[in-house]
Amino acid sequence: MKEINYRKCIACGKIKNKIELVKITCEYRTKDIMIQPDNKTFGRSCYICKDELCINKALKRGKIFKILRVKSIENFDKKIKAVLN
Ligand SMILES: [Zn+2]
């Protein structure tokens, strides 16, 4: 049986099945921000709904970067919104 993992969206606070969320990880060595990283990527992570409203909320005032404790990244909004398409 497949295990269901639940995670909380940092924008709306709802708890959802991991597959309904976008995972963002700040790789612990390189500090690269990875969108939907593979299982071999370790670092500080957060989850956001695959929803433009939640993504916009997470990007507002750099909330997501504060959570990941990194500096803001140029064009990150475009990169993360590409996941929605
Ligand atoms: Zn959400």
CA–centroid distance, residue 32 to ligand 1 (Å): 23
Amino acid in position 21: L
CA–centroid distance, residue 28 to ligand 1 (Å): 25
Confidence at residue 13, expressed as pLDDT on a 0 to 100 scale: 98
CA–centroid distance, residue 3 to ligand 1 (Å): 22
Confidence at residue 3, expressed as pLDDT on a 0 to 100 scale: 75
CA–centroid distance, residue 16 to ligand 1 (Å): 9
Tell me the pLDDT tens digit for each residue of 34-74: 999 998 999 999 999 999 999 999 999 999 999 999 988 88
- pTM for the whole structure: 0.90
CA–centroid distance, residue 53 to ligand 1 (Å): 8
Confidence at residue 1, expressed as pLDDT on a 0 to 100 scale: 65
Q: Enter the CATH code of domain 6-74.
A: 3.30.1230.10
Q: Cα–Cα distance between 7 and 43 in angstroms, integer? A: 16
Radius of gyration of the chain (CA): 12
